[in-house]
Amino acid sequence: MKVLSRATVLFLICLSAWPAHGQSKQGNVSGPITSIVGRLRSKVVFGPPGFGETPKTDSKVRVFYVQLQIPLTPNQLHLSPTGGAEPRNSYSEVQLWCGDQFDSCERFLHIHTNRVILASGVTAYALEANDVFSVTMTVGALDTK
C-alpha cells in the first residue's frame, strides 16, 4: 500500500510541474481532473458503422484503457451522479480518449502499451457507441511510472 501512496504523491507533484523532457505528455482538458495509475492495455473491437452488429462491414478499431491497480469508486473517479449507466460500487478499467489539443497522446499510447502509466484527465460514464468500457477519460496528461 505504501508503494501506491508514494506513486500517487509523486504523480501529484509531477502534475504541478511537468518536465519538458522524458516521457511526460500533456494536453488541454476542462472539468474536474482525475488521476489514475495502472497498466495501459489495448484491444481491437468492432467500430462504425454497426459496432459489431454488422461484422462483415464494420471497421475494427483499437481502444486503449488503463487497468487500474486498485479499483476506484465513482466518487474517486469524479463521476457525475447523473451518468447514463447504472453506477457500480467500483471500476477497474478506464477507457482513454485523446483530446484534439493533445497531438502526441496517440503515439504515447502505442509506444507504452503494457506498461504502468500515470494518467490524468476528465472522466465520464460511457455514452457513445464507441465507448467500450463503463468509464472513459479524456486525457490531459500521461507519464510512465
In this prediction, residue 15 carries a pLDDT of 42
In this prediction, residue 102 carries a pLDDT of 73
In this prediction, residue 83 carries a pLDDT of 52
Calculate the alpha carbon distances from 66 to 22, 37, 54, 92, 113 in Å. Answer: 21, 8, 28, 8, 10
Cell numbers placing 115: 506498461
In this prediction, residue 49 carries a pLDDT of 78
* Domains of the chain from N-terminus onward: 2-144 (2.40.50)
Q: Supply the pTM of this predicted model.
A: 0.75
Per-residue pLDDT tens digits of the chain, which is 145 residues long:
344 455 444 444 444 333 332 333 445 556 789 999 999 999 998 877 777 788 888 888 899 999 999 999 999 999 887 655 567 899 999 999 997 767 789 999 999 999 999 999 999 998 888 899 999 999 989 999 7
In this prediction, residue 64 carries a pLDDT of 96
* DSSP, residue by residue, 46-65: E-TTTTTSSTTT--EEEEEE
In this prediction, residue 30 carries a pLDDT of 61
